[in-house]
Amino acid sequence: MPTSSRGASGWCLLVFSLILILLGLILMAGGLWLASLGGSWYYLIAGLGLMVSGGLMARDSLTGAWLYFVVLVGTVIWALWEVGLSPWELLPRVFGYIVLGIVVAVLLPTLKRRQAMSGGKAS
């Protein structure tokens, strides 16, 4: 963890990062179970992406944010592949990611600032 002092935005970033890690762990655990039952590998991969993304962001790495957007774009592509343009079916697949993506975007300036402050040692 960076040692520089945290303002309110810094704490928001940390909390959000921990939430991403938690969501990632849940999806990874469930996704592993699903894959072991012969189901989709998507959730395992997306969960891994979220966990790593959250971990990097917790360490003030901008790379974590970019990784989040990679997961988001990948999810949209996967969702369209799986259910096409069916709005009700896209809803559970992409809506939550978009909401989280907005938060990531809002946190970007904080993240940039903190990455610069920490001299990039976390990345």
| Pair 61, 122: CB distance under 8 Å | yes
Residues 77-96 that bind another protein (CB under 8 A): 82-83, 86-89, 91-93, 95-96
| Two tokens, residue 69 | 């957007």
By CB neighbour count within 10 A (0-12 exposed, 13-18 middle, 19+ buried), where does 6 fall?
Answer: middle
Regarding 105 and contact with another protein (CB under 8 A), the answer is no
Regarding 33 and contact with another protein (CB under 8 A), the answer is yes
Regarding 101 and contact with another protein (CB under 8 A), the answer is no
| Two tokens, residue 110 | 């904080």
Total residues binding another protein (CB under 8 A): 26
Given the rule CB under 8 A, which of 9-17, 24-32, 53-61, 105-113 is the region that contacts another protein?
24-32
Phi, psi torsion values for 107, nearest 5 degrees: -85, -10
| Two tokens, residue 88 | 């009700």
Give the footprint of another protein on this chain (CB under 8 A).
Answer: 23, 26-27, 30-31, 33-34, 37-40, 43, 46, 82-83, 86-89, 91-93, 95-97, 99
